[in-house]
Amino acid sequence: MSTLVKLDILSDPICPWCFIGKARLDQALQQRPNHPFVIEWHPFQLNPDFPPQGMDRREYLELKFGGKEGAIKAYAPVVQTAEDAGLNIDFNAIQRTPNTMNAHRLIHWGKLEGCQTAVVSALFKAYFQEGRNIGDTEVLADIADSCGMDAALIQRLLQSDADVQEISDRDTAARQMGVNSVPTFIVASQHAVPGAQPVETWLKVIDEIMERGEDAAE
């Protein structure tokens, strides 16, 4: 496949639909190993005004859903859809809802190191399946290490304000473009595809792109 197509993904590591959306996309890519996509992840904070230390999970649920019962009702379809996508999300293990600025900084640095998607995958797993606080610098440094990055360097960077403004600016730019929810996928810098799309949708998109590429080559 000679035609390469940029697939930009706006997401937040604490967004369950982003986790589900990635799982579905991954399944489609596995079925089309010669897919044309070159993937880049972009920042979008669901809670940009969160305190830097994040918030106690129970307090967060009280504010957003009016308490545990409201949260259970809201998350029930998420849990079912995740299971259908082959994912197990353990909401009970999550003790803290973090500010994700530092997680987005790590994703940004992962791109520079050539391991961005691995970092995104590790963040989703740590938060949704292991209940780890991905706002904590030690947790983030450990995730970086697991992806082949220099944990000590990441620790030092996280203790500075390196790239904070860039992440904030990119988040703002996305909102100004009209993005108001995640995941949002942008195909070839032209077509915005919002939401956790089914595997079948991605297979259709990939097949259409590959057919157009083959036609152009003839």
Domains identified in the chain and CATH numbers: 5-217 (3.40.30.10)
Q: Is the pLDDT of residue 216 over 80?
A: no
pLDDT, average across residues 69-84:
93
Q: With both helix axes pointing from N to C terminus, report the angle between 101-113 and 116-124 in degrees, rounded to the nearest 10.
A: 150
- Of the pLDDT bands very low, low, confident and very high (cuts 50, 70, 90), residue 2 is low
For residues 118-144, average pLDDT: 98
- The H-assigned helical ranges of 132-198 are 137-146, 151-158, 164-176
How far is CA 198 from each of CA 12, 17, 21, 152, 181, rounded to the nearest angstrom? 19, 12, 8, 39, 17
pTM of the predicted structure, to 2 decimals = 0.95
Within a 13 Å sphere around the CA of 95, how many CA atoms are in the beta-carbon half?
5
- The answer on pLDDT for 104 being more than 50 is yes
